[in-house]
Structure 1
Amino acid sequence: MSDGTIFLGLAQEPQLLHLALANRHGLVAGATGTGKTVTLQVMAESFSRAGVPVFCADVKGDLSGVGVAGGGHAGIEKRAARLGLEGFSYEAAPAVFWDLFGEQGHPARATVAEMGPLLLARLLELNDTQEGVLNIAFKIADEEGLLLLDLKDLQAMLQFLGERSSELTTLYGNVSRASIGAIQRRLLTLEQQGAAHFFGEPALDLDDLLLLTPDGRGAVNVLMAQRLMQAPRLYATFLLWLLSELFEELPEVGDQPKPKLVFFFDEAHLLFRDAPKPLVEKVEQVVRLIRSKGVGVYLVTQNPADIPPSVLGQLGNRVQHALRAFTPVEQRGVRAAAETFRPNPAFDTGEAITQLGVGEALVSVLEPGGVPSMVQRTLIAPPRSKLGPPDTAERERIRAASPLGERYTELVDRQSAYEMLTGRATTVPAEAEPHSPWGAGPAPRREEADPWGTGGRPSRAPSRRIGGGQRARPPAPRMEREKPAGGGWGGMVADILSGGSGRRQGVGEALTKSVVRSIGSQVGRSIARGILGSILKR
């Protein structure tokens, strides 16, 4: 590495990858056992020494040796001498291990909201109708202020949709309970595969992927993906989410002397297998535009034919290891791979691809000005770190030396959609305190209030529980009946009969007084008519 370049290997002349053009992306391809992983390891080490952080996935377990210094390997030393690498020495790269399941590295988590409905639909293999229901769930969660952080939040949200399906259908279209049930079953399967470890907080902070050591080397972030590869769709979805987050969060920087981050996507064919057209278009958009964010994307796969042409055309720096051509289909694949290179008149590219030995590759990189170099048959440089996985003691030492410490170890479960929705279901709202409609403050208790008071409607006083399980009714308020103006014969007779007393009345007394008042009123009216008649006759 010198003058802003990385040494990849030696052909007729050294093959150098220019750091200023490293964000034009790249491809590392070749059949199993031809040296792709070693090439990836060499490139990761070189970027790290140049001060560029790297993120890569270890799908077989041997790439994690990048964090341990190599040594005592005769083949590596022989290749270094053949390439004329004076002063070659073994060296460990500053590695940080990540693991979605938290077993071999820092837990790498994302929230359901960050993942979004498009990637989740891809992960759950939903059809168009089910994906539409999932989009409705995200929209309503956003409108209701319900945080979707982990799987149980999404499950609670879907249950909430099912309970309101008839209401929501008129607003958003058909919200079928059958579709909700299908999504719930897919979530259950995903949970059994271990995805519950992935969704949650603290979520991965992208700044933690951009670490530099005090001496200026970039961190090599290794995703331990051996177990993750048992769920290949989860693996592809996670890396695509990470790539999308980088695209969304990083600022525009334009062309820089070197990238801010280089992203290696191993087993890249998993990204596009059975992928719907919108998802492929999303990948193409990210790959095309993330260059201006200072991120270089390098896809690692067995055959370039695994990559859609729209994405393959964005990959400027290429390292092609040997391909096998035993069947007609494989032969067509070799011809297609050869046609992606700028031809070299010194040899037949298609023939050379089938004749490459282990550690050899066809290399074409972007030259200053962005023009692809002529393809060269190249002997790839040897790695300085350990070939193969580290032992247990070495792995634990790397984990203990991580600058992130225990930051991601403890799972955080704060209040989100699950807690809020289950709280709605179990909490009975308290009865509001009665208040005066005239704004004079809280009304007195009913049994103490004057039933006529300030004009309020009279109400029957409720009975109150007393000791011994009995019920007692509060004493009725004393009511003074106003005597009619002018003496009122009916009132006068009633008062005479009742003795003018306001004492408590029995049922008999009340009935007697009612009859007497009626009689008194009739007698009074007769007397009044007689007196008035005699006066008028005069």
Structure 2
Amino acid sequence: MAQILDSEAGTVFVGGGGKDYGTPQSLLLKYANRHGMIAGATGTGKTVTLQTLAESLSLAGVPVFLADVKGDLAGLARSGSAEAKLHEAFQKRADTIGLELDYQDFPVTFWDVWGEKGHPVRTTPAEMGPLLLSRLLDLTEAQEGVMNIAFRVADEQGLALADLKDLQAMLVWVGQNADELSLQYGNVSPASVGAIQRALLVLENQGGDKLFGEPALELADIMRQGEGGKGMINILAADQLMNSPRLYATFLLWLLSELFEQLPEVGDPDRPKIAFFFDEAHLLFDDAPKALIEKVERVARLIRSKGVSVWFISQSPTDIPEDILGQLGNRVQHALRAFTAKDQKALRLAAENYRANPDFDIAEAIQNVGTGEAVTSLLEAKGVPGIAQRTLIRPPFSQLGPISDAERAEVMKASPMAEKYDKTVDRESAQEMLAKRAEEAGAEAEEKASAKSDDDLFDMGNEEYKQGRRYEPPEPARRKSSRSSRSDSIAETFGKSLARQLGTRAGRELVRGVLGSLFRGK
């Protein structure tokens, strides 16, 4: 009988066997961090494959983080049962591949951005950064530039961006100080600030403000082990989150980036430190800017040396950019339907990504495998891609399908994460600090204005001061002023008369005579 976990060989069993199938397939834990892909059309068994891989990795002590798009994966928290509807089919499959059907449950922590179907999972704008936030808000290049300026200034001035209100307050401050900031950092357009604020308002109305806040998620809390040394399976409730695909994609990319930035280099460990599953992977790349795709590619290429296993789940390999697809060494390809020319092209491309098997045509096999079957290629010793094999995926040990709300609440209540994350913490951050600055500036301005008013009151040039004293000059001075005025009038009259005389011919003769007598005297 096959074993799910072979500790000596360092493998977990994926599926295999029987006369109609090839060699039994196992995943080498040492090469699980070379990443993987699960692809196939709707209804071909991708979700069950994801569930069985999560179980196998958990049994090997590897923590798992996955997104539950339809609510089906919550069954990992409950044991399968011989009374279950699909028990007979699962038992038959287990017998075919030579596996003992060992029903059991797994340690699960539920997470939810909205805090309804799991513990609130939050981050802060500062941790997410301007690039991912700009992607989330679908900003233009100019608007992204303003967002970068806001983050830079907040960092330089020690203004913590802990939630959405902090970011909104920071943008208001940037807009008010646009002239000064433009000289140092580049143009800050009020129109760009306004556009970002509108985008943030839309995000807030969609409930996205719940994503930002404290306490922020700590990576150590998703990299735990449960009872018996099983890896913790972290399930993100994504059924509601899928209504905001940009928010969904941005959050998962942020989490992957955090793993990349915080985990130390470990080379090639015996098993991954954590396995990360991107369901509906096409949402990560649809309409994504080139810079963001390049970042995902870089993270996927380098994060393996930090012991992180990344799996992309989508309907077709063509949903994943080629540069990233080339990093995925472990592949499980369920059936693809080729009814259109586009589908046929996707089928050919999928077949070309496998190491050829002389026993069958890969493209034909991909098109014809049934539900629960797949064409697999898993890395072998020295990281060499395995030959493509038709594989019957093993049945799950946990419950297939969702659990009740009461069962979910029971799991959440027993989790140690409830006490840590269920209550929001609102500490002093950018919004409060900027409001305090404005209040202090207003009080200082009012104090200066009051002081200036008191000083001006005793100014000799102040009209109120003059009126208050009702100043009147003494009588002698008034008479002197009158005589002076008359004297000025007589002098002015004489001057005008002299000017008229100088303007006449007689006057000119008089001047010549006077000047001549002066020169003769010398």
**TM-score band w.r.t. shorter chain:** 0.7 to 0.9
Which of residues 295, 320, 343 in structure 2 aligns to 1:330?
343
Corresponding residue of 1:254:
267
Corresponding residue of 2:90:
76
Corresponding residue of 1:28:
38
Cα distance between partner residues in 1 of 2:317 and 2:445: 68
1:193 and 2:206 correspond: yes
Corresponding residue of 1:7:
13
The alpha-carbon deviation at position 460 of structure 1 amounts to 6.3
Cα distance between partner residues in 2 of 1:313 and 1:13: 24
1:67 and 2:80 correspond: no
Cα distance between partner residues in 2 of 1:208 and 1:106: 12
Cα distance between partner residues in 1 of 2:338 and 2:332: 18
Which of residues 31, 53, 57 in structure 1 aligns to 2:63?
53
Counterpart amino acid of 2:427? R
Cα distance between partner residues in 2 of 1:267 and 1:329: 19
Counterpart amino acid of 1:4? G
Corresponding residue of 1:169:
182
Cα distance between partner residues in 1 of 2:326 and 2:197: 39
The alpha-carbon deviation at position 214 of structure 1 amounts to 3.8
Corresponding residue of 1:397:
410
Residues 190-217 of structure 1, C-alpha deviations (whole Å, 9 max, x = no match): 1111111110100000000111124211
The alpha-carbon deviation at position 433 of structure 1 amounts to 11
Corresponding residue of 1:496:
none
Aligned Cα RMSD in Å?
A: 2.5
3-state SS of paired residue (2:375):
strand
Matches within 5 A, 1:157-236: 157-236=170-249
Cα distance between partner residues in 1 of 2:185 and 2:209: 29
Cα distance between partner residues in 2 of 1:77 and 1:284: 41
Corresponding residue of 2:391:
378
Counterpart amino acid of 1:44? A
Deviating beyond 4 angstroms after TM superposition, the runs of 4 or more aligned structure 1 residues are 430-434
The alpha-carbon deviation at position 149 of structure 1 amounts to 1.1
3-state SS of paired residue (2:421):
coil
Corresponding residue of 1:532:
none
Corresponding residue of 1:346:
359
The alpha-carbon deviation at position 13 of structure 1 amounts to 2.1
The alpha-carbon deviation at position 432 of structure 1 amounts to 12
Residues 52-110 of structure 1, C-alpha deviations (whole Å, 9 max, x = no match): 00000000110111111111222212211222213x22111101000000001110000
Cα distance between partner residues in 2 of 1:411 and 1:403: 16
1:155 and 2:168 correspond: yes
Counterpart amino acid of 1:359? G
The alpha-carbon deviation at position 12 of structure 1 amounts to 2.3
Corresponding residue of 1:477:
none
3-state SS of paired residue (1:200):
coil
Which of residues 32, 48, 53 in structure 2 aligns to 1:43?
53
3-state SS of paired residue (1:262):
strand
3-state SS of paired residue (1:9):
strand
Identity %: 59
On the 8 A contact 2:164/2:212 being kept in 1, the answer is yes
Cα distance between partner residues in 2 of 1:151 and 1:405: 23
Corresponding residue of 2:491:
none
3-state SS of paired residue (1:245):
helix
The alpha-carbon deviation at position 404 of structure 1 amounts to 2.0
Counterpart amino acid of 2:14? L
Residues 134-165 of structure 1, C-alpha deviations (whole Å, 9 max, x = no match): 11111111111111111111111111111111
Residues 404-461 of structure 1, C-alpha deviations (whole Å, 9 max, x = no match): 2321011111111111112222333459999xxxxxxxxxxxx9xxxxxxxxx9x969
Which of residues 277, 282, 296 in structure 1 aligns to 2:309?
296
3-state SS of paired residue (2:437):
helix
71-80 or 241-250, larger mean C-alpha shift: 71-80
Cα distance between partner residues in 2 of 1:291 and 1:314: 10
Counterpart amino acid of 1:89? D
Seen in structure 2, the aligned counterparts of structure 1 residues 145 and 383 have a Cα distance that, compared at 3 Å, is same
1:283 and 2:296 correspond: yes
Cα distance between partner residues in 1 of 2:216 and 2:320: 30
Cα distance between partner residues in 2 of 1:200 and 1:433: 37
Residues 280-308 of structure 1, C-alpha deviations (whole Å, 9 max, x = no match): 11000000000011100000111000111
Corresponding residue of 1:500:
none
Corresponding residue of 2:519:
none
> How many aligned residue pairs are there?
450
Counterpart amino acid of 1:16? S
Cα distance between partner residues in 2 of 1:76 and 1:431: 78
Corresponding residue of 2:483:
none
Seen in structure 2, the aligned counterparts of structure 1 residues 165 and 460 have a Cα distance that, compared at 3 Å, is closer
1:106 and 2:119 correspond: yes
On the 8 A contact 2:43/2:371 being kept in 1, the answer is yes
3-state SS of paired residue (2:419):
coil
The alpha-carbon deviation at position 31 of structure 1 amounts to 0.5
Seen in structure 2, the aligned counterparts of structure 1 residues 129 and 377 have a Cα distance that, compared at 3 Å, is same
Cα distance between partner residues in 2 of 1:283 and 1:392: 35
Counterpart amino acid of 2:40? G
Segments of 5+ residues of structure 2 without an aligned counterpart are 449-453, 460-467, 476-522
Counterpart amino acid of 1:63? L
Counterpart amino acid of 2:49? T
Cα distance between partner residues in 2 of 1:299 and 1:115: 22
On the 8 A contact 2:375/2:391 being kept in 1, the answer is yes
Corresponding residue of 1:139:
152
On the 8 A contact 2:23/2:389 being kept in 1, the answer is no
Counterpart amino acid of 2:293? V
169-178 or 224-233, larger mean C-alpha shift: 169-178
Counterpart amino acid of 1:17? L
Cα distance between partner residues in 1 of 2:392 and 2:447: 84
Counterpart amino acid of 2:73? L
